[in-house]
Amino acid sequence: MSLLRSAMAAVASILPALAVSAQDFNAAPPNAPGQRPAFEGQTRAPVMADGIVLKVDVITKGLSHPWGMEQLPDGGWLVTERPGRMRVVAPDGALSDPIGGLPEIDVTGQGGLLDVLLAEDFARSRRLWFSYAAPAKGGNHTAIATATLSADRTTLEDVRQIFAQLPVHDGKLHFGSRLVHDGKGNLFVTLGERGDTPIRDTAQQDDNHLGKLLRIDALTGAPAEGNPGLGLPEVWAKGFRNVQAAARDAQGRLWTVEHGPRGGDELNRPEAGRNYGWPVITYGLDYSGAPINEGITARDGMEQPVYYWDPVIAPSGAVFYDCAMFPEWKGDILIGNLQTDKAFTRLRLKDDRVAGEARHLDGVGRVRDIAVAADGAVMLLTDEDNGALLRVSRE
């Protein structure tokens, strides 16, 4: 661990010298040069440079493709690993044995054990939620379960599946899924459209959960009261590709960040009953380089993204920053990058538009999730065979 810690510290120490050249990301040519933004500032916002020297410490390593994390009351972290394990990382970095009690999980392609979310009263209730690829007749689907963590933190108890995506699909792609409290006893759940053709094109249909944002009762999985009645009663909004980043801002509003294809990663602020367009409109191309469907970026009745990236950052995990360690970042949204040139992207918002963009930390790895610790440090999970939990602070 000490060698890796030293290496990461060395990377952080040279950041100021690289601040201008390494962050000239707006110079990269787009995949879809013929596409144009719908309004000024919808893409390639001004590059922000703050001159902060970042320090990276390795809290633990040896994780197998970690996916989600939540800080525990004692300062440790509950971490999921996509191959179907949940572990506790102690404040000193000690890694627990896998926690028992998980249901059967289909570990295939992008599927496996995914996000984890603690109850807001976890210190008392020990309740949590997790998302996973569940095996089912004919394939698999994204499911949500709730449980309580045993007092000795070795076992999940009273495990109950409260939701499963329909339809079942025999595939390996685009399971979503982030879990976010809505502040009213419900959960927002992001669901992918399963990626394959032709099933992805059914994301616009109202008889399924594909490419949908759900809002469900946290304990029962029933549709939340006040949902807009957009097709199935669990659905809050539709027309998403594969959302793996979601967070609420200081006003309590949900923001999502989704993977585009070749270009077309999107930042959205979803509103009830709205249609966000995928796969009818997109600021990206298919992986073959061909247009997707009609190759259009706008249509009446479909919402424009607040912001989009082309080329992509491959976003996974998001959090709004509101702590004292980095006062310069207050109110900014931090987004994990699976593209390995930068660990995370930071966006400055003004009047619900992106006013500036920065990208931080070279060569850390594929960041699957990002969080803010109680002390204000930024925490990163790297999605690797030998994945790590990293702590980013001021030098």
> Which sequence spans correspond to the domains of the chain?
2-394
Query: Scanning the structure block, which residue is given the tokens 């992986």?
Result: 287
Confidence of residue 20 (pLDDT cuts 50, 70, 90): very low
What whole-number distance in Å separates Cα of residue 96 and Cα of residue 20?
A: 41
The pLDDT value given to residue 132: 98
The arrangement of secondary structure in 2-394, i.e. its CATH architecture, is 6 Propeller (2.120)
Contact (Cβ atoms closer than 8 angstroms) between residue 144 and residue 187: yes
Q: Can you say how many angstroms the Cα of residue 374 is from the centroid of all Cα atoms in its chain?
A: 20
Q: Can you say how many angstroms the Cα of residue 260 is from the centroid of all Cα atoms in its chain?
A: 13
Asked whether the predicted pLDDT for residue 248 surpasses 70, the reply is yes
What pairs with residue 337 in β-bridges? Answer: 315
pTM: 0.94
Residue type, 376: G
Structure tokens at 174: 């685009």
CA torsion sign for 251, 206, 211, 137 is positive
The mean pLDDT of the chain is 93
Confidence of residue 341 (pLDDT cuts 50, 70, 90): confident
360 given a catalytic annotation: no
Confidence of residue 159 (pLDDT cuts 50, 70, 90): very high
What whole-number distance in Å separates Cα of residue 114 and Cα of residue 177?
A: 7
Asked whether the predicted pLDDT for residue 2 surpasses 70, the reply is no
pLDDT tens-digit readout, 289-305: 999 999 999 999 999 99
What whole-number distance in Å separates Cα of residue 193 and Cα of residue 210?
A: 4
The pLDDT value given to residue 23: 53
Please tell me whether the peptide bond between 279 and the residue prior to it is cis, using omega within 30 degrees of 0.
yes
Contact (Cβ atoms closer than 8 angstroms) between residue 376 and residue 323: yes
Helix (H, G, I), strand (E, B) or coil at 291: coil
The pLDDT value given to residue 57: 97
303: DSSP letter: P
What whole-number distance in Å separates Cα of residue 290 and Cα of residue 309?
A: 18
339 vs 249: which has the higher pLDDT: 249
Active-site residue (options: 65, 174, 259, 360): 174
C-alpha distances in Å from residue 289, one per residue of 157, 285, 297, 388: 48, 6, 16, 34
The pLDDT value given to residue 19: 36
Mean pLDDT of 187-193: 98
Confidence of residue 50 (pLDDT cuts 50, 70, 90): confident
What whole-number distance in Å separates Cα of residue 353 and Cα of residue 74?
A: 37
